[in-house]
Amino acid sequence: MSPDESGYTYPISGTLKTVFGFQAFRPNQESIISSILENRDVFAVMPTGGGKSLCYQLPAMLMRGTAIVISPLISLMKDQVDAAEENGIDAAFMNSSMNADEMSDVYRRLKYNKLKLLYIAPERFAMPHFIEKLKAASISFFAIDEAHCISEWGHDFRPDYLGLSLIPEKFQNVPVAAFTATATQRVQEDIIDRIGLRKPHIVRASFNRPNLFYEVRAKAKIEPQILDFLKDHQGESGIIYRTTRDSVMEIANFLKSNGIAALPYHAGLPQEERKRNQEAFNRDEAQVIAATIAFGMGIDKSNVRFVIHADLPKNIEGYYQETGRAGRDGEPAHCLLFFGRGDIPKIRYFINNITDEREKDIAVEKLNQTVGYASHNVCRRRQLLGFFGEDYPHDNCGGCDICSGSVEQIDITIDARILMSAASRTGQRFGAGHIVDIVTGADTKRIREFKHNEVKTFGAGKGKDKKYWRSLVDELLAQEALMREGDTYPVLKITQKGSDIMFGREVITALKKEEIKTTQKKKGIQEGYDEALFARLRNLRKKLAEANQVPPYIIFSDKSLHEMCRLYPSTLSNMRQISGVGDVKLERYGEKFIHEIARYLTENPEVR
Ligand code: ADP
Ligand code: ZN
């Protein structure tokens, strides 16, 4: 192929296959790439795992000159460059960790047009002569990653990013593409304005992550519960989030003593150790990382198969971001939240320490939303997307515990009346715990003190346990028959809908969830693969990764390996059909994997 007048070669779908080994574009990738190729600015909000890197790597391959990628994290730059090089793309990075020789080498490659991609940190734009050096080279376009860092309205403002507004000014005919995974409408406008994008092609992708399975389980004894989950997920990479540093250490030690390769990560650990642990996780040497939310930015690992929240998250945005680290490769991944009411007072305690009243109100509101997410019998995906202003168009998402359980509608009117009557007869002045005590006929000091054992509904719900009545309170709150009032000691109030139910003007039903086994759930999303072979290919991948000093997922993603474990490619041309196998990887690794698959099949003739 030779370049046409505008400087790039067609077709882009050919490049997608030969360089990246992919059959089809993900949503929005093609329109973004075409815009860049037409020299148009781009602004794109795409969720984690949406495939942003390809949106600039592919046009960089096709256009004349070097694409400059601005990226805030040094640790990620190296991974990105390694990944590009594995696909045969000439790439380099420039950052403060490099010595003078290394720098001048990169400048030389830039000057002689030997680079398709150059990753740089934003602060470089403030350095003298840097812009002139870029001007002396041939620049195809600029890509700004994590573009929300330029906005003070965003959650990650970095003053260094402000210098990027120089780009459109100094490079008038060079397109600029800005990418982010989080931007409200307001942040979006701010980003476009601050960088100075010129009538950009705007993309707001759906935040739905179809390959993620969302589940909430009741939290009881958390350690054995996690161990139980891990039994079904042997050898799979995953993150366990906990709120405090102590609990991170506890769970990591507990898992270690149960033979699981787990490492801790939190801001209290020495920098060196944190780095080492993250690296070990990245390289599949540690299966599990137990972490506080300090573990976040800078994880590019594509084969995270599960994210567990062992404690209640403080807000839904954070929850979405954290779960978003699962399944970047597009393969099924599990997001499990353990929800226990006992976590609520702990978060309230933090909230009570906030001095700014407005901030405090927001924090309470956010906490209520998370509790709602965990306790409402509403499709988890619908709730998450609704939170980002997106209306999920289907009745059943097939990828959450609510939608995939065998769900049954049951009438809960009678029990709802018992509960609400207890609240009403005690003047709507008590919290859920006390009301449940009344209904179940508990003998507590408070009950005796207030003579609540004389209330008509005292003990009327004895036949069912406290847990049941507790969850009924949640249900009534979720369906807005009850509401909570007050911050520190919230009391239950009966709403209009609640009194309609109480006085027989309305009935109320709830979904009854049946427990189903994890393995069953996954089938709906993706068909299976040969797990024994996968273990072997994963081993081979790890060896190659060690030899090349790159993370394993950069050699091949889990998705590529899973496909190999379904299709058993035996020739190079079969191998070529596997997603993620481009020309360069085919040449580098094709034979080795074919050989391993053939050996496996000879040793296990019954497989085929
Ligand atoms: P983001 O930066 O948006 O979080 P990445 O660029 O890291 O996402 O891409 C996530 C994963 O999806 C990577 O493993 C990447 O190779 C893969 N990917 C990207 N585009 C495609 C595609 N068109 N087909 C299949 N896989 C893709
Ligand atoms: Zn659902």
Residue 520: the pLDDT is 39
Is ligand 1 within 6 A of the CB of residue 553? no
Query: Looking at the CA of 580, which ligand is closest?
Result: 1
**What are the distances in angstroms from CA 314 to CA 1, 105, 242, 364, 491?**
53, 47, 11, 9, 21
> What mean pLDDT is predicted for residues 453-467?
91
Using DSSP, state whether 276 is helix, strand or coil: helix
Whether 302 lines ligand 1, by a CB cut-off of 6 Å, is yes
- Lowest-pLDDT range of 86-95, 220-229, 339-348, 549-558: 339-348
Cα 150 off chain centre by: 22
**Nearest alpha carbon, ligand 1 atom 23:** 25
Q: What is the pLDDT of residue 595?
A: 97
Other residues' Cβ atoms within 10 Å of the Cβ of residue 92: 23
The ligand 1 atom nearest the CA atom of 26: 23
Numbered ranges of CATH 1.10.10.10 in the chain:
408-514
Mean pLDDT in residue range 368-382: 89
Which pLDDT does position 524 carry in this prediction?
34
**Which is it for the CA torsion 389, 394, 399, 400, positive or negative?**
positive
How far apart are the CA of 506 and the centre of ligand 1, in A?
50
pLDDT at 514: 54
Residue 87 has pLDDT above 50, yes or no: yes
Q: How far does residue 504's CA lie from ligand 1's centre (Å)?
A: 55
Contact predicate 67/59, CB 8 Å: yes
Average pLDDT over every residue of 504-518: 67
Q: Which atom of ligand 1 is nearest to the CA of 16?
A: 23
Mean per-residue pLDDT, 444-461: 92
**Confidence band for 296, pLDDT divided at 50, 70 and 90:** confident
- Residue 579's pLDDT band (cuts 50, 70, 90): very high
The overall average pLDDT reported for the chain is 89
Pocket test for ligand 1, best of 53, 180, 558 (most atoms within 8 A of CB): 53
| Token output for 202 | 């705007």
Nearest CA residue ID for atom 14, ligand 1: 329
Class for the domain spanning 528-607: mainly alpha
- 408-514 adopts what CATH topology? Arc Repressor Mutant, subunit A (1.10.10)
Both tokens assigned to 543: 């060896």
Mutate-to-test residue for ligand 1 from 22, 117, 578, highest number of ligand atoms within 8 A of CB: 22
| Ligand at shortest distance from the CA of 401 | 2
Half-sphere exposure of 319 (CA within 13 A, CB side): 31
Name the closest-CA residue to atom 27, ligand 1: 51
CATH 3.40.50.300 residue ranges in the chain?
12-204, 212-400
CATH of 212-400, one of 2.130.10.10, 1.10.1270.20, 3.90.1150.10, 3.40.50.300: 3.40.50.300
Domain covering 12-204 in this structure, CATH number = 3.40.50.300
**Chain-centre distance of CA 240, in angstroms?**
13
Residues of the chain with CATH 1.10.150.80: 528-607
Q: Is pLDDT above 50 for 346? A: yes
Q: CB of 53 closer than 6 A to ligand 1?
A: yes
For residues 10-46, one letter each, b for 16 or more C-beta atoms within 10 angstroms of the residue's C-beta and e for the rest, the string is eebeebbbbbbbbeebbebbbebbebbbeebbbbbbb
Question: Which one of the ligands is nearest to 386 CA?
Answer: 2
Whole-number Å distance, alpha carbon 306 to ligand 2 midpoint, is 17
pTM: 0.75
Ligand nearest the Cα of residue 397 is 2
Average of per-residue pLDDT across 182-192: 85
- Whether residue 240 contacts residue 305, with contact meaning beta carbons closer than 8 Å, is answered with no
Comparison of pLDDT for 405 and 530, the residue scoring more? 530
Q: Is the CB of 579 under 6 A from ligand 1?
A: yes
d(Cα 122, Cα 27) in Å, to the nearest integer? Answer: 28
Share of the chain above pLDDT 90, in %: 66
Helix (H) or strand (E) holding 368: helix 357-375
pLDDT of 494: 94
Ligand 1 centre and the CA of 48: distance in Å? Answer: 9
Which one, of 7, 44, 51, 57, lies nearest residue 25 by Cα?
A: 51
pLDDT at 181: 87
Query: Residue whose CA is closest, atom 5 of ligand 1?
Result: 51
